[in-house]
Chains A and B, each alone.
Chain A
């Protein structure tokens, strides 16, 4: 009991001490809701904010800023093609419990110059440090090959992005980063995290949320298809027969 109180006190003291020195981040996102609907061909989010000293004045110190936008994690199976008997077939695979459906990172300088590998791994700063939670006993070498494959695939699809040097800090107080969302962006609640880093140490972090959702007609169609399969199927059949019949009638008139 006494030990516990002592350690709590120590922890409080640590918070107070560091809190006195560390800056405050005030983050903001250009839009908190991204609506997937007709005409959506992808969008650009502006993640911006201010770095303030604890007293509320400007920080007046050069911090490195790293911004991470992360989509909901999902369980996936990743398959690898190999050449077997002359043709390429899925020959190996592994499962990941927590692959982010979207991940974009932007920073003022290359991550490797800002923090050491250990810190980068703790805060998941960078595609190579994603904690994907692979399942099953596979050796580390194979694991890293599959992880790299997953990252490469998603980078190609535009769902994993890394842009070092794209965060702009002006007058040591305002930072801003632009992050692209492609049209194939998955729905869910995204977290936008901002880290202020000084001398290889994360001194402040703050996060906000972005909701990516389908709206109106698109949402209705997706719900209809998922929840009322039979009626949806009937509608699809009706539309296809109707359109075929209509075209036949129209062309008969010409």
Chain B
């Protein structure tokens, strides 16, 4: 099924794009992450221009997180106050991200920066996740339950001024901490076309010390609104969103997300986390190889 993409200016096999969306949708349904970290590199690998890929991936993450947000809302798993602060930070972040994107694109270093960010972020987060899930699988086998970590926010968070009460998260901390966290992921969303869930969730748990039952819902809430803001930002600055491409991706990913969510209820969460860690590490390793090996195309072209 050949589909001509009006913004990317090329013809692609529509089924491959739908399939790609379905794979990332499955991941997002199973693991609760957006899956943008996989879509963007795969689309670039398929031959879609990098800017179009990153811009269109954001809307796919929006679609995949919608149903998750609804589900978590129903069972009271979203801290709206915390979410709003993080969304505010995220929107500021997308603005900064857009400026950085333009600056780096002018310098011709945007691709390298994106690749290095992927390697560093995915490598470290994937490593941490793998270590943790292996530890808990071992603990499960030996029958000794791991001592639950005492939930506490990071000392640096405690030193910030102007504290607010976040009832649902069970926190009394400065709103600056979630604002900065939101800002950081906003920048990454704009630069890398990812939702940032795999960074947000551990950060909310271990840096902010939020109560675990609102972490996933609130992070999805933040991702939903920040990817919407990113889509708007791309529409206004890069004009690189291909709505045909995005629709194909969405079609695959929203279906995949539903299937994944059903599967996730049956599988063991610890093993799921290990699988996700391995996928993340593989993507990071592939990116690292790409940086070190001689690329196929030494030359790249950009309009002036």
Contact = CB atoms under 8 A, between A and B. Distances in A.
Interface of A: 36-42, 74-81, 83, 86-90, 93, 95, 99, 146, 149-150, 152-154, 156, 183-184, 186-187, 214, 217-219, 221-222, 225-226, 229-230, 232-237, 239-241, 243-248, 251
Contact of A237 (B10, B62, B109, B254): B62
Given A232-B235, A247-B258, A240 B60 contact: yes
Given A79-B299, A232-B241, A233-B235, 6 more contacts: A75-B304, A87-B291, A88-B293, A89-B112, A225-B235, A229-B235
Given A80-B298, A236-B59, A225 B241 contact: yes
A221 B6 contact: yes
B66 A88 contact: no
A92 to B, nearest CB: 10
B232 A230 contact: yes
A183 B10 contact: yes
B contacts with A: majority SS = helix
B76 to A, nearest CB: 18
Nearest to A40: B4
Contacts of A80: 298-299
Interface in B31-84: 59-60, 62-67, 70-71
By Cβ-Cβ distance, the 8 closest A-B pairs, closest first, are A233-B235, A244-B66, A248-B67, A183-B11, A247-B254, A244-B63, A218-B6, A149-B299
Listed residue (A75, A76, A154, A233) with the most chain B CB atoms within 10 angstroms of its CB: A233
Contact of A81 (B2, B232, B295): B295
B182 to A, nearest CB: 19
B239 interface: yes
Contact of B62 (A217, A225, A234, A244): A244
B181 interface: no
Interface stretch (B132-140, B204-212, B245-253): B245-253
A250 B233 CA distance: 30
Given A90-B112, A230-B232, A36 B66 contact: no
B247 to A, nearest CB: 6
18 contacts: A36-B4, A37-B4, A74-B303, A80-B299, A83-B294, A88-B291, A88-B295, A89-B112, A90-B112, A153-B299, A183-B11, A186-B9, A229-B236, A233-B235, A239-B59, A240-B66, A243-B247, A251-B262
B11 A77 contact: no
Interface string B230-272: 0111111101010110110011001101100010000000000
A225 B257 CA distance: 28
Nearest to B2: A41
Given A90-B112, A236-B59, A244-B254, A184 B10 contact: yes
A221 B65 contact: no
B6 A214 contact: yes
Contact of A77 (B228, B232, B301): B301
Given A221-B244, A225-B7, A245-B66, A237 B232 contact: yes
Contacts of B241: 225, 232-233, 236
Interface in B78-103: none
Nearest to B290: A88
A42 B11 CA distance: 8
A37 B108 CA distance: 32
A180 to B, nearest CB: 14
B3 interface: yes
A240 B246 contact: yes
B278 to A, nearest CB: 24
Given A153-B300, A237-B59, A221 B11 contact: no
Contacts of A74: 303-304
A84 B295 CA distance: 13
Contacts of B7: 221-222, 225
Nearest to A247: B254
B155 interface: no
A57 B64 CA distance: 69
B142 to A, nearest CB: 39
A86 B298 contact: no
B252 to A, nearest CB: 10
A245 to B, nearest CB: 5
Contact of A76 (B2, B258, B304): B304
Contacts of B251: 243
Contacts of A87: 112, 116, 291-292
B246 A239 contact: yes
A39 B12 CA distance: 10
B258 A240 contact: no
B148 interface: no
Contact of B108 (A86, A93, A187): A93
B72 to A, nearest CB: 12
A244 B108 contact: no
Listed residue (A90, A225, A241, A247) with the most chain B CB atoms within 10 angstroms of its CB: A247
